[in-house]
Amino acid sequence: EAQVTQNPRYLITVTGKKLTVTCSQNMNHEYMSWYRQDPGLGLRQIYYSMNVEVTDKGDVPEGYKVSRKEKRNFPLILESPSPNQTSLYFCASSQPRFGTEAFFGQGTRLTVV
Amino acid sequence: AQKITQTQPGMFVQEKEAVTLDCTYDTSDPSYGLFWYKQPSSGEMIFLIYQGSYDQQNATEGRYSLNFQKARKSANLVISASQLGDSAMYFCAMRERGDYKLSFGAGTTVTVRA
């Protein structure tokens, strides 16, 4: 089954404790990205990757890091989480061909206290 | 500047009736795509329908249709014969050809009443 898998689904952590949210896709998609969803703001892009070892900042990259060492995996790293990073996070993947939809992971609800 | 505007934070619709969700967009790129996603209370994002800027006909997918008015820069989603399972948040999104990013609106919550 074609899917994007994120882990964990839920996470409560304390300020400053480094964490990683994993994302893996099995569709051989070149393009992957991370979004955060906040009430009234919709989804905003954090980082994206065009292919292995190619990443770039989205609209809200501050406080986040990413890496793309393999085509299927695109982890999101919060080196020192803060309460304003409490949000619902989505990983997405798609083919670069214009007009194709993005496939989203199940979401990770992160709470930083 | 906001690229996607959804002006209806929440809507109620009676079961079996049709509902229209508004979406307006802003772009200077002549080539772009418009997407609608559904987010049920379980949280996942479900792709519903796509409309390309050069498509001559309005997109349809089952009970979903997209009322695309290019000159007005609007891409409203119409859900016909609403079902209780249609209760969810709906997002309009746009991708410009020069960019891989999806720009999302704030979303509209639809509640279907029995």
Position B2 pLDDT exceeds 80: no
> Is some CB atom of chain B closer than 8 A to the CB atom of A3?
no
Alpha-carbon gap, residue A59 to B26, rounded angstroms? 17
Q: Which residues contact B22 (CB under 8 A, 6 or more apart)?
A: B6, B7, B8, B74, B76, B108
> Is some CB atom of chain A closer than 8 A to the CB atom of B97?
yes
Rounded to a whole number of angstroms, the distance from the CA of B93 to the nearest CA of chain A is 9
- Which pLDDT score is estimated for A97? 80
- Which pLDDT score is estimated for B1? 62
- Which pLDDT score is estimated for B98? 76
Residue A45: list chain B partners with CB under 8 A: 101-102
Interchain pair B50, A98: CB under 8 A: no
Rounded to a whole number of angstroms, the distance from the CA of A36 to the nearest CA of chain B is 11
Probe site for chain B from A32, A98, A108 (most B CB atoms < 10 A): A98
- Which pLDDT score is estimated for A99? 80
- Which pLDDT score is estimated for A95? 87
> Is some CB atom of chain B closer than 8 A to the CB atom of A48?
yes
- Which pLDDT score is estimated for B85? 97
Interchain pair B4, A42: CB under 8 A: yes
- DSSP secondary-structure letter at B85? G
- Across the range B28-51, mean pLDDT stands at 95
- Which pLDDT score is estimated for A98? 77
Q: How confident is the model at residue A2 (pLDDT cuts 50, 70, 90)?
A: confident
Query: Per-residue pLDDT tens for A85-103?
Result: 999 999 999 987 878 889 9
Query: Per-residue pLDDT tens for A6-65?
Result: 999 999 999 999 999 999 999 999 999 999 999 999 999 999 999 999 999 999 999 999
- Which pLDDT score is estimated for A30? 93
- Across the range B45-59, mean pLDDT stands at 95
Interchain pair B91, A42: CB under 8 A: yes
Q: What is the count of residue pairs from A and B with beta carbons less than 8 Å apart?
A: 58
Cβ atoms < 10 Å from Cβ of A16:
11
> Is some CB atom of chain A closer than 8 A to the CB atom of B104?
yes
Interchain pair A33, B4: CB under 8 A: no
- Which pLDDT score is estimated for A96? 78
Query: Per-residue pLDDT tens for B84-102?
Result: 999 999 999 999 987 878 9
